[in-house]
DNA sequence: GATGAATGAGCGTTCATTCAT
DNA sequence: TATGAATGAACGCTCATTCAT
């Protein structure tokens, strides 16, 4: 798999024309939903085209390949995520507040782009081995470092328990939080912030 | 997709002959590994056959279809899991001990059959919608009930915090625990029981 | 076997474009010839594609399946045949003239679409048992009734021998007439109308 | 297709052992029935083996190939048929009696070996082009000559109409008679001899 | 931009056949 | 004789992609 990074059609991902209809954006949204619900490899280019009301061949006027669509979805998600997390860390609050904000930002991301997050959850494992998607690993590593710094700082300042390894603690939090994308339904009984509060409550205070 | 449940070849899943070589078992193991690492739909029957050292067509001497292999992998995992969990609940220990055992049993399952668990994690979401895999939802529901009963009993007996909804608490634990299959490597730095202890420590006592 | 009846490509079976080349029609003609000469199940999709000068996969741009091609060939033949026979019966000539016309129309059909008729002769027996081809039996029954009505009317009016069961008489005529497709070659020594005349002469006057 | 003519197993097609069970004969009967009802190429070796209660591979202890079974079925039918027809012609009766006997012998053959006759009807057209089945054409030609001699002799002696070409007359009779195998069911309403009488009555006297 | 026809590689599966046991 | 595992070629079909219009 090799991804041509040329962004066909209108540059910068902006709508094609002033009053026009953003076909690129529509295709990306449709693709994200299908990739999330059916899986990337079970989703055909025709599926995407059908859902968008065009023919399969026409997709190639907007994107170089099916993989390029996946690439754009994941890249947008990860860069946005990293940007948010870096901004939160940059605010230089105390570690507990920072950790809380990281968790809340994660839930907000799931709320805003559940399909993209689901695609990331489901596909990144296999994708990361491919050269074209090496940036996934790079982003993940940078994001992981942010979380680890916060946890370490919290232990150093005495606000977090010192007897726990930060690495598995991070993985514990990360997995619990991001896995919610599999069952969380925007508009369902549990609102996103409520789940965030519940998880933070359990995380901080423990079950006992 | 329709799965013929006939178990071709030797019955009861036992090795074909006394001193013989269990080709069925080998194929199942190979398939589980490939399904886990590449995804079910990206794994071809030829991949499985190649890894097992036979030709693709020969697989059909042992299994009705590629899907039947997936079916057998998942069914075995889920029935075994349910059996273990039910046995633990049946011991009628106090809720905290029971919960600990459930968590430890989960980690043990990941340790013993990491590929099957990974397949379940990655594929069950889309599979559950298919009639032939309805049993996945059935098993999941029965397992969930066991966990919810333990959490509820723990709250009633005062050992678990009463202010937390048991449902999201269950999901929190379940997702954190099962997600470890994505990064846990048997034989790696962290041994399975160590991760279990760490997770239980964090879960019970909280981060603060 | 299930036949999706969607008529892919251009609707109504008409040529795709004004000055265009009717690939659908070509494929159907090629398929009919191969089905007739090699048998349906011995004819591969690649055979058809090769004979049409395209790749096997391209067939599926025009038809849902190999079976859908067979379906269309048979449906067209049978509906046309029934239409002709019904029109002849509707003219309300005397029974002998009507019977003669039915026989001549049958020979004309063989002359015009020998491949389709041969396919019908060779495959309909096994096909009729399949649900997707139930219409074969339906058409056959309606056509049979036309012939039986004519024979019965001829006996009632005294023009046909009254001592013969109409059913085996019908089968005798039908089989003798339609079997000619197996040896009749358009453009051969015996012209179609000549065979029709010969058969009618023998049928009406007898051998003695 | 090349048919090895070696007759595996017991020679001369006789039962394997004195008091034994004739597996060869059983397989041939089963194969004839399946070839007749499903078609030769849609019948798998496994179908035959299943119906006979053995495994597919075991068939090859009795026959060299699937094609060898077809070969034996057709050869037996054709040699028997030719033998009967030649014997009838050899009796040197008057042409009308001889023709009647040929027709009756044909119906008797259908009655006795309907599956073999059906296989011949359905498959011989395509088979005749293959070298290994050239004997089909040879037998057919010898049989045709017998019928043509009888018809010619009948015309010469004034008992048959002189204005009809013998060739199409022969084809007319042959096709009408042999086609009955497609609908004639031994044990049905119409007994074989009754159909023969009906057909002879129609053939000799005509419909008018 | 979009269409629709075509490509070419590959997929899951079937099946006649072989052969060691 | 029969079994059961395996072969290897082929089959119907799918799909990402290309391209002339």
Instruction: Tell me how many residue pairs between chain C and chain D have CB atoms under 8 A apart.
Output: 112
* pLDDT, position C4: 47
Distance C44 CA to F10 C1' (A): 10
Q: Cα–Cα distances in Å, from C194 out to A116, B195, D207?
A: 74, 92, 19
Are the beta carbons of A199 and B172 separated by less than 8 Å? yes
**Residue written as tokens 């139930």?**
C134
Among residues of chain D, what percentage have pLDDT more than 90?
Answer: 84
Q: Say how far apart CA D142 and CA A171 lie, in whole Å.
A: 87
Is B51 (CB) below 7 Å from strand E? no
pLDDT tens per residue across span D13-30:
444 445 578 899 999 999
* Chain B residues within 8 A of A190 when measuring between CB atoms: 168
- The set of residues, in sequence order, having a beta carbon less than 8 Å from that of D142 and lying 6+ positions away, is D82
**Is A24's pLDDT higher than 70?**
yes
Are the beta carbons of D169 and C39 separated by less than 8 Å? no
Tell me the backbone φ, ψ of residue D207, rounded to 5 degrees: -85, -25
Tokens at A20, concatenated: 């026009």
- The set of residues, in sequence order, having a beta carbon less than 8 Å from that of B79 and lying 6+ positions away, is B139
Q: Say how far apart CA C150 and CA D207 lie, in whole Å.
A: 13
C88: exposed, middle or buried (Cβ count in 10 Å: 0-12, 13-18, 19+): buried
Residue C100 has a CB neighbour count (10 Å cut-off) of 19
**C1' of nucleotide E15: residue with nearest CA:** D44
**Contact in structure between D170 and D144 (CB atoms under 8 Å):** yes
Which range among B83-92, B101-110, C14-23 shows the weakest confidence by mean pLDDT? C14-23
Q: What band does C11 get if pLDDT is binned at 50, 70 and 90?
A: very low
Q: Which of residues 125-184 of A touch strand F (CB under 7 A)?
A: none
**Contact in structure between B154 and B82 (CB atoms under 8 Å):** no
Are the beta carbons of A161 and B42 separated by less than 8 Å? no
Distance C55 CA to F20 C1' (A): 18
Are the beta carbons of B126 and A183 separated by less than 8 Å? no
Q: What secondary structure, in 3-state letters, does A10-67 show? A: CHHHCCCCCCCCCHHHHHHHHHHHHHHHHCCCCCCHHHHHHHHCCCHHHHHHCCCCHH
* pLDDT, position D202: 97
Question: Which subunits count as partners of chain D given 3+ CB pairs below 8 Å?
Answer: C
Are the beta carbons of C204 and D206 separated by less than 8 Å? yes
* pLDDT, position D19: 58
Which range among A30-34, C18-22, C82-86, C140-144 shows the weakest confidence by mean pLDDT? C18-22
**Is A25's pLDDT higher than 50?**
yes
Residue from the list C182, C198, C208 with its beta carbon closest to the beta carbon of D125: C182
Q: Which of residues 137-176 of D touch strand E (CB under 7 A)?
A: none
Is C66 (CB) below 7 Å from strand E? no
**Is B1's pLDDT higher than 60?**
no
pLDDT tens per residue across span B93-114:
999 999 999 999 999 999 999 9
Tokens at A163, concatenated: 């007897």
Distance B35 CA to E21 C1' (A): 34
* Chain B residues within 8 A of A172 when measuring between CB atoms: 176, 198-199, 202
Query: Could you tell me which of B133, B22, B21, B19 has the C-alpha nearest to residue B67?
Result: B133
* pLDDT, position A151: 97
**Is B42's pLDDT higher than 80?**
yes
Mean pLDDT of D181-195: 86
Q: Say how far apart CA B112 and CA B205 lie, in whole Å.
A: 28
* pLDDT, position D185: 87
Are the beta carbons of B180 and A169 separated by less than 8 Å? no
Look over chain D and give the mean of its residue pLDDT values, rounded to a whole number: 91
Are the beta carbons of A172 and B172 separated by less than 8 Å? no
* Chain B residues within 8 A of A163 when measuring between CB atoms: 201
* pLDDT, position D197: 96
Torsion of CA A73, A78, A80, A84, to 10 degrees: 160
pLDDT tens per residue across span C150-166:
999 999 999 999 999 99
Query: Could you tell me which of B84, B206, B150 has the C-alpha nearest to residue A172?
Result: B206
Is D58 (CB) below 7 Å from strand F? yes
Question: Which subunits count as partners of chain A given 3+ CB pairs below 8 Å?
Answer: B
CATH number for region B21-61: 1.10.10.60
With CA atoms as reference, the chain D residue closest to C174 would be D176
Q: Cα–Cα distances in Å, from A44 out to A121, B11, B178?
A: 20, 38, 30
**Is C13's pLDDT higher than 90?**
no
C113: exposed, middle or buried (Cβ count in 10 Å: 0-12, 13-18, 19+): buried
A and B make contact (3+ CB pairs below 8 Å): yes
Look over chain B and give the mean of its residue pLDDT values, rounded to a whole number: 92
Is C65 (CB) below 7 Å from strand F? yes
Q: Say how far apart CA B19 and CA B194 lie, in whole Å.
A: 38
Question: What's A22-61's CATH class?
Answer: mainly alpha
Are the beta carbons of B208 and A204 separated by less than 8 Å? yes
> What are the DSSP E strand ranges found in chain D?
none
Mean pLDDT of A33-57: 97
| Same CATH fold assignment for domains A22-61 and A66-205 | no
Tokens at B81, concatenated: 């899991």
Q: What band does A21 get if pLDDT is binned at 50, 70 and 90?
A: confident
**Is B149's pLDDT higher than 60?**
yes
Are the beta carbons of B126 and A202 separated by less than 8 Å? no
With CA atoms as reference, the chain A residue closest to B172 would be A176
* Chain C residues within 8 A of D198 when measuring between CB atoms: 164-165, 168-169, 172
- The set of residues, in sequence order, having a beta carbon less than 8 Å from that of C178 and lying 6+ positions away, is C106, C110, C117, C121
Residue from the list A41, A204, A205 with its beta carbon closest to the beta carbon of B41: A41
Mean pLDDT of D157-185: 96
CATH number for region C66-205: 1.10.357.10
Are the beta carbons of A179 and B182 separated by less than 8 Å? no
- The set of residues, in sequence order, having a beta carbon less than 8 Å from that of B147 and lying 6+ positions away, is B85, B102, B170, B173, B174
Is D61 (CB) below 7 Å from strand F? yes
**Residue written as tokens 């083996």?**
D49
SS3 C158: coil
Q: Say how far apart CA C175 and CA C172 lie, in whole Å.
A: 6
Tokens at A178, concatenated: 């991001």
pLDDT tens per residue across span A131-188:
999 999 999 999 999 999 999 999 999 999 999 999 999 999 999 999 999 999 877 7
* pLDDT, position D12: 46
Q: Who has greater pLDDT, B9 or A120?
A: A120
**Residue written as tokens 């449940």?**
B5
Query: Could you tell me which of B80, B99, B108 has the C-alpha nearest to residue B194?
Result: B108
In sequence order, which ranges of C53-133 are alpha helices (DSSP H)?
Answer: 66-90, 95-112, 114-127
* Chain C residues within 8 A of D199 when measuring between CB atoms: 168, 172
pLDDT tens per residue across span B162-188:
999 999 999 999 999 999 999 998 776
How is chain A split into domains, by residue range?
Answer: 22-61, 66-205
SS3 B5: coil
Residue from the list A38, A161, A171 with its beta carbon closest to the beta carbon of B126: A38
Q: Say how far apart CA A116 and CA C132 lie, in whole Å.
A: 42
* Chain A residues within 8 A of B201 when measuring between CB atoms: 163-164
Mean pLDDT of C40-45: 97
Query: Could you tell me which of D84, D85, D77 has the C-alpha nearest to residue D117?
Result: D77
B144: exposed, middle or buried (Cβ count in 10 Å: 0-12, 13-18, 19+): middle
Residue from the list B39, B172, B182 with its beta carbon closest to the beta carbon of A41: B39
Are the beta carbons of B161 and A190 separated by less than 8 Å? no
**Is B4's pLDDT higher than 90?**
no
Q: Say how far apart CA B5 and CA A74 lie, in whole Å.
A: 39
Residue from the list D154, D201, D207 with its beta carbon closest to the beta carbon of C160: D207
Q: Who has greater pLDDT, D71 or C17?
A: D71
b vs e for D74-112, b when ≥16 Cβ sit within 10 Å of the residue's Cβ?
Answer: bbebbeebbebbeebbeeeeebbebbbbbbbbbbebbbe
**Contact in structure between D3 and D136 (CB atoms under 8 Å):** no
Chosen from A178, A202, A204 to mutate, greatest number of chain B CBs within 10 A: A202
**Residue written as tokens 């980690």?**
B107
């Amino acid at each position: 798999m090799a991804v041509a990074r040329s962004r066909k059609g209108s540059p910068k991902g902006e709508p094609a024309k002033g009053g026009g209809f953003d076909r690129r954006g529509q295709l990306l949204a449709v693709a994200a939903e299908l990739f999330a619900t059916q899986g990337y490899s079970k989703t055909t280019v025709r599926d995407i085209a059908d859902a968008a009301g065009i023919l399969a061949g026409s997709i190639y006027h907007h994107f170089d390949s099916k993989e390029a669509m996946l690439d754009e979805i994941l890249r947008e998600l990860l860069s946005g995520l990293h940007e948010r997390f870096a901004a939160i860390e940059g605010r230089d609050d105390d570690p507990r507040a920072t950790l809380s904000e990281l968790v809340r930002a994660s839930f907000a991301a799931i709320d805003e782009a559940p399909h993209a997050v689901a695609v990331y959850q489901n596909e990144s494992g296999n994708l990361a081995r491919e050269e074209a998607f090496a940036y996934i690993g790079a982003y993940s590593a940078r994001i992981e470092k942010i979380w680890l710094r916060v946890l370490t700082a919290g232990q150093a300042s005495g606000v977090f328990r010192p007897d726990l390894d930060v690495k598995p603690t991070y993985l514990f939090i990360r997995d619990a939080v991001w896995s919610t994308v599999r069952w969380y339904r925007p508009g369902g009984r549990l609102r996103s912030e409520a789940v965030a509060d519940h998880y933070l409550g359990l995380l901080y205070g423990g079950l006992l």
